[in-house]
C-alpha cells in the first residue's frame, strides 16, 4: 500500500507539473511527457505516435537506441499499438514472451520488448495516435490500476494539446483567408481597368479608383465632393434614381443601365453602369458598389462586365460572412447570437426541453484598460474568447454580447448543467496564464423551463433574466455565478 500511495502522490504531482508546461510547444511537450513517463513507470522506451491510414509514424521518442527514431514510419499492424487502436483503449503487457501468440510479433522478434503499456490519443473523439512505453525487461508484476490511470491522464492532457494545436492552425488559416479576401477586394477595386466606385445611399461618392477619374476627367477629391446625380444627364437621371430606389427597398440587389455622364470638359460620356448594394448585418443599406464602363467597344465591354459581376458577387458573399463575426475575438457577433437564441427558443417551444442563457463579464476590465492600455485590453478579450470557446465546446454556442460581456447559449440544458458550465468557464478564465494579470468572471445564468399548458416566456424575458443574474453576481463582488429562473425570477447562488 505504501508503494501504491507513493506512486499515486508522485504521479499526481507529475501530472500537475506537466499541466503547467507550454501547450503550444508540442515537441518539447512530447519529450517532457515521455521522460517523466519512463521515469515513473520504470521503462526505458517512450513513444508518441501519429496514426493515419494504417501507418504508424513516430512523432517523438525516448530510448530505443538506433532501432527507432523520430519520423520513422511502420505499418500499424507490425506494432504493439495495433491492439490499442483495435481496443480503442489502454493495453498493458508485463511479460510479452509469456504470451504464445505474441512471440512471433515483429516488434518482439526485432526488439525483444517484454513489457508494454499504451493508450490512445484522441482528437474530436477519433484516435489519432498513441502514447506508449516499453522495455526489454520483464516486469515482475502486472501494471497496477494506478499506472493505467496515470498513462491515461497523460494521454488525455496530450490529446487536449493536440486539439488546441489544430485549433490554432485552423484560426491562422482563417485569418490568412480573410486577409487574402481583403487584398483581393483592394486589388480588384483600386487597380481594376474598369472604373469602379463605392457610393453612399444618398448618391455621394465615397471611394473612386483611378479609372473612374480617367473616364470622367475629375480628380478623386473633386468627385468625393459631389454626388452622381450632379454629373448625370437629366434624361437618364429619373431612370437611374428609380433603380436606386428599387435597391433600397429590397426589390432587387443590383441593376444595369446605359447612361450618360458629363465629363469635366462638358462632353458626354456614354457608359454601361452596373450597381450592386451592400447591406449591413441588420439588412439596412450600407453602400453601392458601382462599375462604370465606356461602351464604345460594345462586345468587349459586355464580356468584361460579366467577369467583374461574378467577381463582385463573390466578394459580396465574403463580406456578408465577415459581417457575422466579431472582428476582435473571432466569435459570433451580437446580431448572430440573437438569431441563434431566437432559433433555440423556437426549438425549446416544440421540444419542451429547457434552454439556458449565460452572460459573462470580465471583472475589472475598465481598470485593466486604464492600467495596461486598450491594445492589451484587446489581447485580453481575445484570450478570454478563445478560453470560453474551448471550455464550452460543442455543447453550446459562444459569442460576444458587448464590450467585455460574452454570451453562451445552451440548448436543452437545465439549471444544473448551466451552472456547471458557468463554473467551468469561470475556473478556466481564472487559470489563464497568457494575460498580464489574474482574471475573474461574473456570470449570470438564466434558464427557461417549459411547463405543459403554460405559455413560454419570450427571448427578451430570457435575456433580461440573464442580465439580472449578471448584475446579482457583479453586486456580490464578482468572481461568482448567479442564476435566475425565468418563471420565478428568484436569485440562487
Confidence of residue 477 (pLDDT cuts 50, 70, 90): confident
What does the pLDDT read at residue 184?
75
49 with 129: CB under 8 angstroms? yes
pLDDT of residue 493: 42
Q: Classify residue 274 by burial, with Cβ atoms within 10 Å: 0-12, 13-18, 19+.
A: buried
336-360 pLDDT, tens per residue?
A: 999 999 999 999 888 889 999 999 9
- Looking at the chain, the domain(s) classified CATH 3.30.450.20 span 192-322
436 pLDDT exceeds 80?
no
* 445 within 8 A of 425, measured Cβ to Cβ: no
Mean of the pLDDT values across residues 313-341? 85
The model's pLDDT over 167-214, given as tens digits with 9 standing for 90+, comes to: 888 888 888 888 777 777 776 677 777 899 999 999 999 999 999 999
In this model, does residue 489 exceed pLDDT 60? no
CA atoms lying within 13 Å on the CB side of residue 477: 1
Report d(CA 482, CA 11) in Å as an integer.
36
Q: How far is CA 33 from CA 115, 156, 319, in A?
A: 19, 12, 44
Would you say residue 110 has pLDDT above 80?
A: yes
The predicted model gives 285-298 an average pLDDT of 85
Q: Which three cell numbers stand for residue 445?
A: 445564468
pLDDT average, residue stretch 466-479: 90
Among 461, 449, 444, smallest CA distance to 341 is for: 461
The per-residue pLDDT of the chain, averaged, comes to 88
Angle among Cα 126, 128, 133 to the nearest 5 degrees reads: 125
Collapsing DSSP to helix, strand or coil, 95 comes out as: coil
Of 279, 285, 281, nearest to 323 by C-alpha is 281
- What would the pLDDT profile of 227-270 be if each residue is shown by its tens digit? 999 999 999 999 999 999 999 999 999 999 998 899 999 998 89
CB 24 within 8 A of CB 100: no
CA pair distance 119, 148, nearest whole angstrom: 9
Taking residues 287-293, what's their average pLDDT?
Answer: 92
Contacts of 199-203 with CB under 8 Å at 24 or more apart are 199/228, 199/275, 199/287, 199/288, 199/290, 200/287, 200/288, 201/248, 201/285, 201/286, 201/287, 201/288, 202/227, 203/227, 203/228, 203/229, 203/244
Distance in angstroms between the alpha carbons of the first and the last residue of the chain: 41
- Would you place residue 5 in the very low, low, confident or very high pLDDT band (cuts 50, 70, 90)? low
Distances in Å between the alpha carbon of 392 and those of 8, 318, 395, 408, 423? 30, 27, 6, 8, 11
Measure the CA–CA gap between 374 and 255, rounded to whole angstroms. 43
- pLDDT cut 70: percent of the chain above it: 95
Tell which wins on pLDDT, 309 or 386.
Answer: 386
**58 to each of 108, 129, 174, 296, how far by Cα in Å?**
18, 9, 29, 66
Residue 339 pLDDT: 93
Query: What's residue 301's pLDDT?
Result: 52
Rounded Cα distance, 475 and 463, in Å: 18
Count of positions (residues) in the chain: 493
Class of domain 192-322: alpha beta
How many whole angstroms separate alpha carbon 205 and alpha carbon 203? 6
Q: Please tell me the distance from the alpha carbon of residue 284 to that of residue 363, in angstroms, as a whole number.
A: 35
Give the pLDDT confidence score for residue 405 in this predicted structure. 93
Q: Please, where in the chain does CATH 3.30.70.270 lie?
A: 334-492
Which stretches does DSSP call E strand in 158-280?
196-199, 205-208, 254-262, 268-279
Task: Check if the beta carbon of residue 48 is closer than 8 Å to that of residue 131.
Answer: yes
Mean predicted confidence (pLDDT) in 65-70: 86
Of 21-25, 97-101, 410-414, the poorest mean pLDDT is in: 21-25
Structure confidence at residue 453 (pLDDT):
72
- pLDDT surpassing 90 at residue 225: yes
Q: Are strands 268-279 and 254-262 parallel, antiparallel or unpaired?
A: antiparallel
Confidence class of residue 397 from pLDDT cuts 50, 70 and 90?
very high
pLDDT value of position 305: 57
2-162, CATH topology level: Beta-Lactamase (3.30.450)
Backbone angles phi, psi at 410, to 5 degrees: -120, 90
- For residue 485, the SS3 value is strand
Query: What does the alpha-carbon distance between residue 431 and residue 90 come to, in Å, rounded to a whole number?
Result: 30
d(CA 419, CA 120): 31
In this predicted structure, the answer to whether residue 290 has a pLDDT above a threshold of 70 is yes
Least confident residue range of 168-172, 239-243, 361-365, 463-467: 168-172
pLDDT at residue 2, rounded to an integer: 47
d(CA 116, CA 84): 11
For cell 483611378, the residue is: 210
Residue 490: per-residue pLDDT: 37
CATH architecture entry for 334-492: 2-Layer Sandwich (3.30)
Alpha-carbon distance of 170 to 183, in angstroms, equals 20
User: What is the location of CATH 3.30.450.40 in the chain?
Assistant: 2-162
Assigned C-alpha cell, 142: 502486472
Q: Helices marked H in 323-401 — which ranges? A: 334-351, 365-372, 374-392
Question: Strand 126-135 relative to strand 45-52: parallel, antiparallel, unpaired?
Answer: antiparallel
Cell of 193: 481597368
- Beta-carbon contacts of 30 under 8 Å, excluding residues fewer than 6 positions away, are 48, 59, 60, 158
Question: Which has the minimum average pLDDT: 96-100, 269-273, 298-302?
Answer: 298-302
Report the SS3 class of residue 181: helix
What does the block give as the cell for 65? 537506441
Q: Which cell numbers in the block locate residue 352? A: 419542451
Residue 443: pLDDT above 90?
yes
Residue 455 has pLDDT above 90, yes or no: no
Amino acid at each position: 500500500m505504501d508503494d501504491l500511495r507513493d506512486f499515486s502522490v508522485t504521479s499526481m504531482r507529475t501530472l500537475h507539473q506537466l499541466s503547467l508546461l507550454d501547450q503550444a510547444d508540442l515537441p518539447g511537450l512530447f519529450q517532457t511527457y515521455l521522460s517523466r513517463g519512463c521515469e515513473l513507470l520504470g521503462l526505458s522506451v517512450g513513444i508518441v505516435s501519429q496514426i493515419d491510414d494504417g501507418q504508424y509514424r513516430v512523432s517523438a521518442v525516448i530510448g530505443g537506441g538506433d532501432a527507432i527514431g523520430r519520423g520513422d514510419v511502420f505499418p500499424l499492424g507490425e506494432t504493439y499499438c495495433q491492439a490499442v487502436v483495435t481496443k480503442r483503449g489502454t493495453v498493458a503487457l508485463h511479460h510479452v514472451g509469456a504470451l504464445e501468440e505474441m512471440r512471433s510479433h515483429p516488434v518482439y522478434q526485432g526488439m525483444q520488448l517484454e513489457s508494454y503499456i499504451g493508450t490512445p490519443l484522441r482528437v474530436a473523439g477519433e484516435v489519432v495516435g498513441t502514447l506508449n512505453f516499453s522495455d526489454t525487461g520483464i516486469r515482475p508484476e502486472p501494471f497496477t490500476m494506478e499506472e493505467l490511470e496515470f498513462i491515461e491522464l497523460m494521454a488525455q492532457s496530450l490529446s487536449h494539446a493536440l486539439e488546441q494545436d489544430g485549433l490554432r492552425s485552423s484560426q491562422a488559416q482563417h485569418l490568412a483567408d480573410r486577409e487574402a479576401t481583403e487584398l483581393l477586394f483592394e486589388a480588384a477595386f483600386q487597380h481594376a481597368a474598369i472604373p469602379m466606385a463605392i457610393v453612399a445611399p444618398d448618391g455621394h461618392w465615397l471611394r473612386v479608383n483611378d479609372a473612374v477619374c480617367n473616364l470622367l476627367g475629375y480628380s478623386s477629391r473633386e468627385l468625393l465632393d459631389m454626388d452622381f446625380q450632379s454629373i448625370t444627364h437629366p434624361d437618364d437621371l429619373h431612370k437611374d434614381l428609380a433603380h436606386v430606389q428599387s435597391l433600397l427597398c429590397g426589390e432587387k440587389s443590383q441593376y444595369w443601365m446605359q447612361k450618360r455622364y458629363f465629363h469635366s470638359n462638358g462632353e458626354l460620356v456614354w457608359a454601361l453602369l452596373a450597381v450592386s448594394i451592400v447591406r449591413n448585418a441588420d439588412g439596412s443599406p450600407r453602400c453601392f458598389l458601382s462599375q462604370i464602363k465606356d461602351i464604345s467597344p460594345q462586345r468587349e465591354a459586355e464580356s468584361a462586365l460579366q467577369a467583374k459581376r461574378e467577381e463582385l458577387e463573390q466578394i459580396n458573399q465574403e463580406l456578408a460572412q465577415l459581417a457575422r463575426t466579431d472582428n476582435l475575438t473571432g466569435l459570433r457577433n451580437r446580431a448572430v447570437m440573437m438569431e441563434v437564441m431566437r432559433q433555440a427558443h423556437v426549438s425549446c417551444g416544440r421540444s419542451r426541453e429547457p434552454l439556458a442563457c449565460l452572460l459573462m463579464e470580465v471583472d475589472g476590465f475598465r481598470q485593466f484598460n486604464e492600467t495596461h492600455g486598450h491594445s492589451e485590453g484587446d489581447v485580453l478579450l481575445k484570450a478570454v474568447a478563445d478560453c470560453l470557446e474551448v471550455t464550452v465546446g460543442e455543447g453550446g454556442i459562444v459569442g460576444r454580447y458587448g464590450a467585455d460581456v460574452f454570451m453562451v447559449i445552451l440548448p436543452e440544458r437545465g439549471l444544473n448543467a448551466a451552472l456547471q458550465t458557468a463554473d467551468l468557464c469561470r475556473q478556466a478564465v481564472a487559470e489563464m496564464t497568457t494575460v498580464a494579470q489574474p482574471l475573474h468572471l461574473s456570470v449570470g445564468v438564466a434558464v427557461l423551463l417549459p411547463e405543459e399548458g403554460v405559455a413560454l416566456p419570450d427571448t427578451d424575458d430570457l435575456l433580461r433574466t440573464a442580465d439580472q443574474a449578471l448584475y446579482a453576481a457583479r453586486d456580490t463582488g464578482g468572481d461568482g455565478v448567479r442564476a435566475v429562473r425565468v418563471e420565478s425570477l428568484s436569485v440562487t447562488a
